[in-house]
Structure formats: structure tokens, C-alpha cells
Amino acid sequence: MKTTTRPYLLLAACGIMLAGSAAADEFTKADLDRWQAEYQASVDKGEKLFHGGLKSKNTVSCDQCHPNATNIHPETYPKFQQQLGKVVVLGEMINWCIMNPLESEPLALDDPDMVDLQSYIHWERRGVALEPGKH
Amino acid sequence: MKLPGQWLTAAAFLAVGASVSAAPLGLPPVPVPADNPQTPAKIKLGDRLFHDKRFSADGKVSCSTCHDKTKAFTDHLPVSKGFNGLTGTRNAPTVINSAYMKTLFWDGREPDLEGQSKQPPVNPVEGGLHDHKPILKTIRGDREYTAAFSEVFDVAPEAISMDHVAKAIASFERTVVSGDSPFDRYQYGGDKTALSEAQVRGLELYRNKARCVSCHTIEATQAIFTDNRFHNIGIGFKKIRGQEEQTAEEFVRSKRAGADVDKTVLTNANVSELGRFAVTENPTQVGAFKTSTLRNIAVTQPYMHDGSLKTLADVVDFYNNGGRLKETDPLSAFQSGGIRPLHLTDQEKQDLVAFLESLTSPQFKPQAGK
Amino acid sequence: MSKSLNRREFLKRGSALLAAGSLPLSLVEVAFGKNSPENFTFAYVSDSHITHVKGKEFVRNWDRGLIRAIAETNLLDPRPDFVFYGGDIAQLGKREEIDHGLEILSALRGDVHYVMGEHDYYLDLGDYWRKQLGPDHYSFDHKGVHFVVLNSILTFDEWTHDKWPSAEERMHQMARLDNPQGSPFMVGQAQRDWLKKDLDKISKDTPLVVLSHSPLQKIYKGWNFWTDDAEQVQALLKPFNKVSVLYGHVHQIQYNQIGNISFNSAMATAWPWPYPASYKQAASYMPKLTVDMNRANPFFERDATGWQFINTHTGNVDVHYLLPDNTNRVVAYDRKAGHPVDSEYQAAEDRIPPQTHY
């Protein structure tokens, strides 16, 4: 974690210095663009993982069943996933797919690959209202 | 109110005349049909009918012969023994919690308990009667029965019908409800000490790697451990391997010609393996059988529709090999999707069995390991 | 077993069974009708996507889908006259995949007519497929119906020949459904010319059944639920009284009516696809007529997959969808309405919650 957060903190510090006397809780349009770009980099990585980039033991990839990450419904999590018998977050369902259709090893819920996958999945679903719990 | 002591707990929850009754920890309210409300007198009558051996060709077979409460309402035989020791093709499922089933029999050929109980007395390898007349004759000639039917259904002796008999038996069966297992106390009762560490690991496997929960449903507030659906998991396939088409075709033709499904599936070993198909003639349901509940599974051995698996360890091995005893055995072409090798380790298999043993309700605990 | 007994059985039980979602095999016989000797059924299996992993290993899930569809198809009694395979035997066009798929398909009883899918084509431009199965477009007559098979998954020459460093890369690109680098499917001028000549030979009252892999209508370009020259092909079919187009590729239930042409899709035996409308970042054009299939439950691997048998008893087609772990569907041509109608769910008030995709 440390190694990944440090450059980010440095960047943020530079941003504040460049902005001169701005208070710590203020930020510029440039900040927003840069932060969005940081997120988009995760989306891009997730898009590749989703389309065959995951180490899938049987070569099956997420997009085979979910073109453009459809039919995942990230806006409905957490929800009671009847087939897992409990209320789960999206990452748990992603792991189910990795373990079953992909016949591969699940990811830790905070694994960077898991984060990137969710970045992509959410991005393809942007603009859809939250409906937690919806089946 | 005189009820068998064992069932006092469940019966005490009865909300007489209501559409549902409350239930033990871990179970939803018992669904009760509007036209057959629970009453203490009806339950008592049903209890007596359930245990009456006169309703069979040799006077030795009652419902309780194959659904014996000292054996967790099963008979612990691979396939049941009917009159004159005749055997059928199917393992007797437990009556416990059958009140939650949306269809009855392994192939779901009856929609409710009322319909189910009429069949075995007239099956040629179960009760062995030609029709229901001897049952009604016995009842009408028994003063205690006629008094009870009069009280419960307000009928004269000559007006007593099999519908009345079936309703009373079903009402009794709806009191054979049991939850409150260690799993229930852990999951729904907040007692985190109710399960051992191995059982907790087993529960996690049950939900994830071992995929049990896909069909043996657990919900957030209750668990009936069945999806009430039909799946071909591979049991019995060897018996009709290569003969599926011929068996299906011959069966459909004989059904068209008037053959009785109940009799045919219990007397013809090959037709029995067609499972749900024999009822629906749906090609997608060849070899599909109803998901059984897992409550009290440790005391309702042997397992599967043909009773072919003796222990829970055998069952776990069977699923672990993708629906076969050995990983090299052939697979049925009709096998349901979702049944596939699970790659469980020996430890994981043991944990899973340990978890399944946590599903035994207190009143059946003494029977465990028998 | 006489026909009259079947009819009586059917009249007595048929509607109840259909309501329960099951399909009595006797339905086939009943629908033949004794006065119409030209009526017949055929089975329609599609999109198996057999995937080679390594050595002798193939993706189990897709293998099992095809194996099961074939076993179920073999139960039809009486036998369908023949079987159509709607394309995409293979996932990446590999010989191993086509060979393995054909080995599984060899269990099918009866003749099989094959349609080319893009997954069969874009590795070697269909060479191995054609070597095993013959031409990718052809026609034949059967009991008064003219059948035409088209290869509808061709695309621009530039995309096919100049854009990719290797055949494998080209195949991978086309195999990705949601590929922004993809290219629209088309039948192409050469086949359209052939089709015109083929159709010139037959009278306009001959029932016509056309099979293609992609829909010969435009639904959503982003996933190639689309054929770029669909209108030109439709124009060639327009003079005929009864035309049915059957297509695979979409892995879902779709049906439509455009003028005289009925459209019906096939389910995949491998996996289902979401409806394009569930992708919120782009517009799509799902036929309003279509009542969606039930949303898939991935925990039952065969859910929302399946196969079809097709009854041609009116010269139009009735499509019976056989769906393991789900309720079977029947989409039959309705003469009065002049378009295909779902036998149970067509009216908005008859639809069920799993048919709502979002």
C-alpha cells in the first residue's frame, strides 16, 4: 500500500504548492481533471482485465457473458445474493464468477485487480441510479 | 389436547385456522392451505391415520412404516419396503419439514401433501391395495374414527372420503416441523459458539467453493435448504446409460395409452431414472429429481433418490467428482449445469460433512450416529 | 398409437401443460395435422463456442451445453426431419475446436445443415470449416419449403485483410463482442447476387426459410446484432408470401416482423447474452415485439441457454425454445396478427419479473 500511496501524496502536495495560497480543502479544475484521469487509468486497466487480461485457467473471460459489463448491475450492491445465501458486496460476486465460469482463484477484495475491475464495471454503468438490494 | 410429546413444540405454535403457523428457529412460517386449516383434533386424527397399518394389502404397512419417527421419519433403507416385503425404486424422503415442499415425491408428481398421501396405499409395491375402498371401509367400521371424522369434518360415516383422510394426514404432517439446529442457533440465534470451527469453515465452503447453496437454499433470515426445483445430478444414470431415448420413448407411449405414472415409476427401474421427465415429458428434465432438504440430513441416511449413497462423506465425494463416484466415471449427457468437479481437499470435505452434521434438530440428536 | 389418440390427449392436456411451461413431445405430431402432408419439424441448435484450453482440454461448461442440447434433441419423437446448426461451433476458429465440436455433434441423430459463424471464420477465413462441412452458402428444397443458408458474417476487405498483424489477432478481435475495433457483419454483393439468382428459380408462393448467423435486421451495431446490408437482403426476400429468417449469434430470444418477413433467433448452448438495452451508454433497437427471455441465473450453468425445435405447419415457423433450468417458450407465427407471438407472455400483463432486464 505504502509504495502506491506515496507518489499520489507527492502529486497532491505539488498541486497545493502550485495553487499557491489555496486552502487545503480547495481544489482547482485541473485537480479534478487529474483525479478523474487517475480513475480512468484504473478503468483502462480494468477494461483489459475484463477482456481476457485476468489469469483465467480455462481462458474464459468476463466479457464473454457481460459485453460492456452489462448484466452485472453494480448499482444494486450490496444485495441479498440468493445464490450465495447472504448479503454481499459486488466483489464477492465477481469472485464467484472468477471461481466458477473462469475456474480460477478468487482475488482479495482489496486486490488492485479487483479495484480496477470494479472501476471498469462502474464506468460502463455510469449515470444509472443506485438501487441497493434490487434483485 | 393430546399430542405426541415429541411434537408439542411445533404444535404449540399452531395458530388454529390461520393461513400460516409460526415455526421453530431458522424456519419460515408453515404454509397451510386455506381449505385445510390446522386444528388440534384434525392433527390428532391425522396422527392416528398416519400410523394405521390396516390401510395396506397385508395389514402391516402404514405411512409410518417408511416414515418412522424413531428414524427421523425415514426407514433408513435404500429403497422402501412395501407390503409382502416388496421393494420399489425410490428412497423414502423424510416427512420432517415436508410442509415447505412445493411439490411432493422425488419427481414432484403431486402438488401438495394432500395429494401425496393418497398414492402409496394403492401403489403395487407399497400399500398394495387395488383402490381406496378398503381404507374407507375400515374407517367407517371404526367408531373412534367415525367420531373423529364427525368432529373434524362434520361428516356422516358414509360420507367420509379419501379427501378427508388426506387432509387429516397432511395436517398431522404439517406439525412435523423442526429447526433450531446448531446451525440455526449460530446463524439466526446469535450464538456464535453453536458451531465448531470445522463447522464454520464448512458453512463457508457450503456457500462458496462447494456450491451447495445454489440449490440447497439458505436465506438471510431462514433456511429450508431446498430450492424446490429439479436437477439431474448424475445419480442413477449408470442404470439407463445409453437407453435414455428408448426408455423415454417407451414410457411416453405407455403413458399415452393410459399407464399410471405413480405405479410405473415405482415398479419400472429404468423409467424411475427418468425423474421429472416422467411427469412433464419435458426433454430438459430427464433424470432430474427434486432438491431434498438438508435439515436432519445426518440422521436420514441413506441418500439420493435411490438411496445409493450410504454416508455424508460419500455424498460429498460424489459432488466433488462432478456428480459421479469416481472422477473417471462417465457423465450423463442430461446432467444439470452447475454440477462439476469441486477440487475440495480432504480437510475441506471433512469440514463440509461437519457442517452438514450441524443441521440436526435437538429432537433427533439422539438418533445421530445410529 | 394412433393420431386421433394423440390429438385427444393433446386437447385434453395440451393447454395445461403449456401453461406449466412444458412441452409434450406429442405436440410435434399434433401440429403436423393429417391434411397437410407437407408439414414437418426440424431442430435448431446454435452457438456452442467450443473452446480449446490446452492439450486435450476444452472448457467444460461449453462442452456440456452442446452435449446436453444434442441428448435432448435426440428425444424428439417423431424425429425432426433434420437439424440446423446455427454457427459458432468454435470460439477461436481453431481446428481442435471445430473437430471437437463436430465430434460432439456426431451424436445427433439425423442430417445436420451448418451455418457459418464469425467464430468459425476469422482465423482461416472459413477454410477448415468449409473443408469439413462444405459451402458456407447454399439452398435446398424440403417438402415444399425452400431453405436458404447465407454466410452473413463477412465484413469489409480492408478490415479482414489489411488491419491485423496475424490471423490469430484478427480472430481475437472479432471474437470480442463489444469490440470498438470491430467491424459490421454483411452478406456482401457476391452472395446477394447468388441469392437473387437462386430465388429467381422458385415461385413466389413457396414458403421461404432463410438461415444466417447474424440477424438480417439491425438491432445494435456495437455488438454486431446487425447485418450492414440487411435492407438489400430483405428486398430480395420481399416478393415472397411467407418468409422466415432464423439466426443465431445473439444468444437470446428475439423475434420481429418486418413486412412479409418473420425473424426468430436461437438461444446459444454455451451462454446467454444480455439485451443491448441493458447497456446504458448507447442506443439500440430491440424489436418491440420481443418478450425478453428470463434473466439468467449463472449458478445454473445452463440457465438461459438452450435449443429450439421448429414446426413449419403453416408454412411459417413456430419456434419452441427448450430451456434447461427455465420455463420453455413457444413463439409461433400468428396468422391473424401477421407476426410471431409468444404463446404465454406476449401481452404486457402476462409478463413476469425475470423478463425485466435493466
B248–C75 CB contact, under 8 Å: yes
Instruction: Say how far apart CA B185 and CA C101 lie, in whole Å.
Output: 50
User: All domains of chain B, ordered by start, with CATH?
Assistant: 5-173 (1.10.760.10), 182-232+291-367 (1.10.760.10), 237-286 (no CATH)
pLDDT at C4: 33
User: Regarding predicted confidence, which is higher, B244 or C51?
Assistant: C51
How far is it, in rounded angstroms, from Cα C138 to Cα C145?
A: 14
For residue A42, the SS3 value is helix
What is the model's pLDDT at position C79? Answer: 87
**Helix segments in B213-334, DSSP class H:** 237-240, 244-256, 261-267, 269-272, 277-280, 312-320
> Which A positions 38-57 lie with beta carbon below 8 A of chain C?
51, 57
Report CB contact under 8 Å: C324, B338: no
pLDDT at C78: 80
pTM of this prediction exceeds 0.95: no
Q: Which residue has the higher pLDDT, A20 or B94?
A: B94
Q: Return mean pLDDT, chain C.
A: 90
Q: State residue B3's pLDDT score.
A: 40
Which residues on adjacent β-strands are paired with residue B274?
A: none
Quick: pLDDT tens for B290-308: 999 999 999 999 999 999 9
Determine the residue of chain B that is closest to C270 in CA distance: B337
DSSP class of C263 = E
pLDDT tens for each residue of B54-80: 999 999 999 999 999 999 999 999 999
Taking only Cα atoms into account, the Rg of chain A, rounded to an integer number of angstroms, comes to 18
Select the more confidently predicted residue: B18 or C318: C318
Placement of cell 398409437 in the chain: C1
Cβ-defined contact of C9 to B334 (cutoff 8 Å): no
Cβ–Cβ contact A71 with C under 8 A: yes
Residue of B nearest to C71 (CA): B333
Q: Does the CB of A100 have a partner CB in chain B at under 8 Å?
A: yes
Range with the lowest mean pLDDT among A80-84, B342-346, C80-84, C209-213? A80-84
CATH code for residues A2-124? 1.10.760.10
Beta-carbon separation of C279 and A67 below 8 A:
yes
Note the pLDDT of residue B23. Answer: 83
8 Å CB contact between B186 and B192? yes
Task: Report yes or no: C354 at the A interface, CB cutoff 8 Å.
Answer: no
Considering only CB atoms, which chain A residues are within 8 Å of C299?
83, 100
Q: Do residues C94 and C123 make contact, with C-beta atoms less than 8 angstroms apart? A: yes
> Crossing angle for the helix pair C189-200 and C230-237, nearest 10 degrees?
10
The answer to whether the CB of C80 falls within 8 A of the CB of C309 is yes
Check whether C263 has a pLDDT greater than 60.
yes
Beta-carbon contacts of B213 under 8 Å, excluding residues fewer than 6 positions away, are A83, A84, A85, B206, B207
Nearest to B213 among A85, A87, A100 (CB): A85
**Of A22-26, B252-256, C217-221, C289-293, which range is least confident?**
A22-26
Give pLDDT, residue C315. 83
**Per mean pLDDT, which range of A37-41, C261-265, C313-317 is the poorest?**
C313-317
pLDDT value for C22: 35
Give tens-digit pLDDT for C41-77. 999 999 999 999 999 999 999 999 999 999 999 999 8
Could you tell me which chain C residue has the CA closest to the CA of B253? C1
Residues of C in contact with B253 (CB under 8 A): 1
Look at residue A62 and tell me whether its pLDDT is greater than 60.
yes
B10-24, B84-98, C169-183, C189-203, range with the lowest pLDDT? B10-24
Interface contact A59-C297, CB threshold 8 A: no
Q: What is the mean pLDDT of residues B71-98?
A: 95
Where helices occur in B13-142 by DSSP H, the ranges are 40-50, 63-66, 113-116, 133-140
With a cut of 60, say whether residue B104 has pLDDT above it. yes
- pLDDT recorded at residue A3: 43
Of the candidates B120, B137, B138, the residue with the CA atom closest to the CA atom of residue B129 = B120
Rg for chain C, CA atoms, rounded: 19
Q: What confidence category does residue B10 fall into, taking pLDDT thresholds of 50, 70 and 90?
A: very low
Query: What confidence score (pLDDT) does residue B367 get?
Result: 64
A83 contact C CB<8A: yes
Task: State residue C314's pLDDT score.
Answer: 74
Residue A16 has pLDDT above 60, yes or no: no
ipTM above 0.85, yes or no: yes
Helix, strand counts (H, E) of chain B: 16, 4
Provide the pLDDT for residue B140.
97
Q: Domain-by-domain residue ranges, chain C?
A: 1-35, 37-355
DSSP-H helix ranges across B57-195: 63-66, 113-116, 133-140, 143-153, 162-173, 182-187
Tell me: pLDDT of B362 over 50.
Answer: yes
Query: Cell numbers 457483419 label which residue?
Result: C185
Give me the CATH topology for the region C37-355: Purple Acid Phosphatase; chain A, domain 2 (3.60.21)
